[in-house]
């Protein structure tokens, strides 16, 4: 009898997991030369593997910084993993962070490239944009205030 209850508990636990989603946060989409911009990839309720972009010659100064959390509350489970990268461009122009990927057990998702405009005039743009989508839709991009 205990074995049957155990299997029912495990099956119920698996069924209560939420659909994975990916969010991308950018501290600013326009920055002055020499300023630091942070890019954070957050996977919520995912059980797959994050594949960071190939940064090549981009001005990466720190990262990845990682964090994760797991919560089981009121019969519902949620988890989150975040990967933060810090860039400090030294010349003006467009800085493009290449495509990243997330591989779940059932799907591979491409995370679109991120563009940051680097100017010499000292203007910083912190527009707010927030969306959340689930697999297999496109990930979200969000501007973050510091």
* CATH annotation of 19-143: 2.60.40
Q: So where are the chain's domains?
A: 19-143
Specify the 3-state DSSP secondary structure of 71: strand
pLDDT tens-digit map of 6-56: 444 444 444 445 577 888 999 999 999 999 999 999 999 888 899 998 888
C-beta of residue 27 within 8 angstroms of C-beta of residue 146: yes
Quote the Cα angle for 59-62-68, to 5°.
Answer: 135
- Residue 9, beta-bridge partner list: none
Distance CA 139, CA 21 (A): 7
- Residue 96, beta-bridge partner list: 115
Q: To which residue do tokens 């591979």 refer? A: 108
pLDDT tens-digit map of 48-82: 899 998 888 889 999 899 999 989 889 888 999 99
Q: Is the pTM of this model over 0.85?
A: no
C-beta of residue 39 within 8 angstroms of C-beta of residue 25: yes
């Amino acid at each position: 009898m205990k074995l049957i209850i155990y299997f029912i508990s495990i099956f119920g636990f698996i069924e209560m997991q939420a659909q994975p989603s990916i969010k991308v946060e950018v501290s600013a989409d326009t920055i002055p030369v020499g300023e630091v911009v942070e890019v954070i990839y957050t996977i919520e309720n995912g059980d797959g593997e994050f594949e960071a972009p190939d940064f090549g010659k981009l001005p990466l100064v720190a990262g990845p910084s990682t964090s994760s959390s797991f919560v089981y509350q009121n019969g519902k489970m949620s988890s989150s993993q975040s990967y933060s990268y810090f860039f400090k461009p030294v010349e003006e122009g467009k800085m493009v962070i290449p495509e990243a990927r997330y591989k779940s057990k059932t799907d591979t998702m491409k995370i679109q490239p991120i563009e940051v405009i680097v100017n010499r005039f000292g203007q910083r743009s912190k527009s707010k944009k927030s969306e959340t989508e689930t697999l297999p839709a496109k990930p979200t991009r969000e501007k973050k205030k510091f």
